Structure 1
Amino acid sequence: MSHFCRHCGALLSHEVIDLGHQPPSNAYLSVEQLLLPEITYPLKVYVCTECWLVQLPAHAAAEDLFTADYAYFSSTSQSWCAHAERFVTAAIAKLGLGPHSQVVELASNDGYLLQYMQQRGIPCLGIEPTHATAIAARVKGIETIERFFGTALAQELIGEGAPVSGGADLVVANNVLAHVPDINDFVAGITRLLKPQGRASIEFPHLLQLLKGNQFDTIYHEHYSYLSLRVVQRIAEQSGLVVVDVEELSTHGGSLRVWMAHQDTAESSATVAEVLAAEVAGGLEKVAAYADFQQRAEAAKYGLLEWLLRAKRQGKRVLGYGAAAKGNTLLNYAGIQADLLEAVADRAVSKQGQFLPGSHIPVISPEQMADLKPDELLVLPWNLIDELRQQLSEYSLVTAIPELKQWS
């Protein structure tokens, strides 16, 4: 079957990495669902050698992945909420936002970010397609529309008497650009939604850091695209936007925060040129940059398996911590099940009592984990290791990406 680039339409022929067939990483299972067949899709990533967008073909529709009972709640992570609050404070100062401004967040989840806009008296609106998280946002008093975003919804929002009549001063899109199958329509929708002098702030994991850090576990079906600044710049230009600034962030193993404006309203900063130069130095638009990615992923997989098998032989009890989507990619790629990893603890009540997709490892509460007295904990959301080292200081922690590491 042939696949075509979701940005430029070129035939996808160059494979970057193959992680086998896997179920959607956020499709947690109930006890009853364990008795039913489980759908899996190919997890094979390609790079378009015409526009250099790294991407996963859309084997599953967005509606099938981001379901009403979607289990990821952003507010579960204290560090992520702190990150959001810092952004709000900085954005208000940067853009001069106030009571007469309008802020729209795309993929607003449970209101983790807009709650801080609301606290500062700034009118805001969330766009969130998953029902469970939208309800959580409304409980916080944040107006939320349960829809997938694109040009059609943008047009509805800016009409006379509509929620964002006249357009938005700020559009925020954190960790959603990679999640949309029609990336051109999504960015074009932002163009339509912004006021003439408005700004868009978009955060996404940086492809350059993904490759450097061997972060193959961040590949899963909900992530259709793996983005560089240059590719995002091209997509923006096609939709009438210009990248005016970029910030390098530590979140998610290394992300970019890209600021966009309507073309001919602002100039690009020197930082944009610096990041683009780093991408050129990293060879992101040459196939050689992707040549050893598969082998490095396999090495990490074997390292994890060897450690788990050794612990098993030594009679140690190893549990996982953090039922993150990236952890499901890793566990399923390595073929790890409950015989090697007895359970995974998570603070999210929405996941407790469920089972991980594919591996069927049970998800338990941190209190249940403590009762089991594990000898070591495998931290699956390795990007939160600093936060978790403080929360779990009494435990011996291990991460598997980019390679096996034990934290003292």
Structure 2
Amino acid sequence: MTRCRLCGSTALESVVDLGATPPCESFLAAEQLDAPEPAYPLHLRVCTDCWLAQLPPLITPEETFSEYAYFSSYSSSWVEHARVFVADAAARLGLGADSFVVEVASNDGYLLRHVVDRGVRCLGVEPSVNVGAAAREAGVPTLTAFLSPETGAAVRAEHGPADLVVANNVYAHIPDVIGFTKGLRALVADDGWVSIEVQHLLTLIEENQYDTIYHEHFQYYTVASAIRALASGGLALVDVELLPTHGGSLRLWARPEEAAGEPSRRVADVLAREKAAGLQELSGYTEFSARVAKVRRDLLRFLVDAAEEGKTVVGYGAPGKGNTLLNHCGIRPDLLPYTVDRNPYKHGRYTPGTRIPILPPDRIAADRPDYVLVLPWNLRAELAEQLAYVHEWGGRLVFPIPELSIVEVER
């Protein structure tokens, strides 16, 4: 990478280098195990002019999202998060039968189904053919497309301007951040609202959440860098909420510049927190790499010790973040013989790079392992409840992030 994708600067400094890994959602079928597997550098850098943290665009969104392995509806807590958001947004914005809501990267309709239930006209814009088809089967109108200024203009011409445009967990997934932002502006009414949820770089660094660094995340935002990104497409930040999702996320409320007005006090408060953490100078980034290395050493030490003691450790979940962790730590089936996942799409497949088999969740109860390594640690409360049954045989849960934690569960 030679230039920042947002401001064009060449002043890019290293934050953490995780080596080379395959794309995190490129799960392998059994017949692919003897074939070559491409791996790409995973090196996070920050622009010291606009402070956007970013990866080089080594893979394209088309390679990742045309056929996608992630279905949002398999997380009950995430569906509930979406339901609460829709209820709150409807109250905040006065959404009703005459309103129009568009969600970009709408996945399998996990959020818009709540909009449909309210009788509000809506449309999903989802690039992945397979998950978009699942949304349509669930009764959620869905266009299969990537958002661009042209796509946004076409949707607006056919359906009218949107009172609310939702873009949850997608603003990090596009290398053309300026074009995507212009697409959001093309969709939204001149007096409308845009709501974006994206992981907060502040908590990523403070909580050692380095496993959320992977190739389909092209950039990582602070409020300061998000303000600049939004402005590149004619949007202005009006309000911000700090959310616990994904270990710590931002909900950015933006409007077209001409309708925005003054930002809320919460915007100033979060900007002050980011500045106090050193995220607008290099000092805030310099120790992150050393703390990442400690997570790796601690997890490997635990797995090696467990193996030498004759203890069994299996995984729970096969999320994209888990594949960053497994590859960075060099964990193979000798230390983690399998992981399980609720998503049947992944059953019978193997994790990219590390080739760990993915099985249905009932395998854990059948095998009664000593430890269950929870890879989607961001769903800790939900999964601790789901996995409470491991207490029956004295099993324990292991969470690797922000630091190694071994937990006894009770029913």
CA distance in 1, matches of 2:187, 2:389: 49
**Per-residue deviation, residues 1-40 of structure 1 (Å, max 9, x unmatched):** x421110111153111100000000000000011110011
* Offset, 1:150: 1.4
**Per-residue deviation, residues 276-318 of structure 1 (Å, max 9, x unmatched):** 1111111111111110111111100000000000100111110
Mapping for residues 110-149 of structure 1, pairs under 5 Å: 110-149=108-147
2:352 maps to amino acid = P
**Per-residue deviation, residues 140-159 of structure 1 (Å, max 9, x unmatched):** 11111111101110111112
Q: Which residue of 2 aligns with 1:401?
A: 401
* Offset, 1:373: 1.4
Mapping for residues 99-114 of structure 1, pairs under 5 Å: 99-114=97-112
Q: Which residue of 2 aligns with 1:347?
A: 342
Q: Which residue of 2 aligns with 1:217?
A: 211
* Offset, 1:355: 0.3
Q: Which residue of 2 aligns with 1:20?
A: 19
Please identify, of 389-398 and 333-342, the stretch whose mean Cα deviation from structure 2 is larger: 389-398
* Offset, 1:135: 0.8
* Offset, 1:193: 1.2
CA distance in 2, matches of 1:344, 1:334: 16
Aligned length: 402
**Per-residue deviation, residues 65-120 of structure 1 (Å, max 9, x unmatched):** 2232x100000100000000000000000000011110000000000000000001
* Offset, 1:239: 2.0
**Per-residue deviation, residues 209-257 of structure 1 (Å, max 9, x unmatched):** 0000010000000000011111111121232211111111000000010
CA distance in 2, matches of 1:101, 1:215: 38
Helix, strand or coil: the match of 1:18? strand
1:150 maps to amino acid = S
Q: Report whether the alignment pairs 1:325 with 2:320.
A: yes
Contact persistence 1:12–1:46 (CA under 8 A): no
Contact persistence 2:11–2:49 (CA under 8 A): no
CA distance in 2, matches of 1:231, 1:253: 19
Q: Which residue of 2 aligns with 1:298?
A: 293
Helix, strand or coil: the match of 2:33? helix
**Per-residue deviation, residues 247-279 of structure 1 (Å, max 9, x unmatched):** 110000000101001113232111111111111
CA distance in 1, matches of 2:172, 2:232: 17
CA distance in 1, matches of 2:401, 2:319: 14
CA distance in 2, matches of 1:150, 1:277: 33
Percent of aligned positions that are identical = 47
Q: Report whether the alignment pairs 1:173 with 2:167.
A: yes
CA distance in 2, matches of 1:135, 1:192: 25
CA distance in 2, matches of 1:22, 1:67: 20
CA distance in 2, matches of 1:295, 1:333: 14
CA distance in 1, matches of 2:327, 2:275: 33
Helix, strand or coil: the match of 2:328? helix
Q: Report whether the alignment pairs 1:91 with 2:85.
A: no
Structure 2: which 5+ residue stretches go unaligned? 391-395
Q: Which residue of 2 aligns with 1:80?
A: 78
Please identify, of 287-296 and 82-91, the stretch whose mean Cα deviation from structure 2 is larger: 287-296
CA distance in 1, matches of 2:354, 2:294: 20
Q: Which residue of 1 aligns with 2:377?
A: 382
2:131 maps to amino acid = T
1:355 maps to amino acid = Y
Structure 1: which 5+ residue stretches go unaligned? none
2:156 maps to amino acid = I
Q: Which residue of 2 aligns with 1:153?
A: 151
2:407 maps to amino acid = W
Mapping for residues 259-270 of structure 1, pairs under 5 Å: 259-265=253-259, 266-270=261-265
CA distance in 1, matches of 2:271, 2:59: 32
Q: Which residue of 1 aligns with 2:200?
A: 206
Q: Which residue of 2 aligns with 1:34?
A: 33
CA distance in 1, matches of 2:326, 2:128: 25
Contact persistence 2:23–2:352 (CA under 8 A): yes
2:149 maps to amino acid = T
Q: Report whether the alignment pairs 1:244 with 2:242.
A: no
Match of 1:182 among 163, 176, 183: 176
CA distance in 2, matches of 1:268, 1:14: 30
* Offset, 1:368: 1.9
Q: Which residue of 2 aligns with 1:46?
A: 45
CA distance in 2, matches of 1:343, 1:237: 45
Contact persistence 1:184–1:235 (CA under 8 A): yes
CA distance in 2, matches of 1:153, 1:94: 27
Q: Which residue of 2 aligns with 1:58?
A: 57
Helix, strand or coil: the match of 2:258? coil
**Per-residue deviation, residues 165-203 of structure 1 (Å, max 9, x unmatched):** 2x1000000000000010011111111211111000000
* Offset, 1:407: 1.5
Helix, strand or coil: the match of 1:252? helix
CA distance in 2, matches of 1:334, 1:376: 18
Contact persistence 2:375–2:399 (CA under 8 A): yes
Helix, strand or coil: the match of 2:263? coil
- TM-score, structure 1 normalization: 0.97
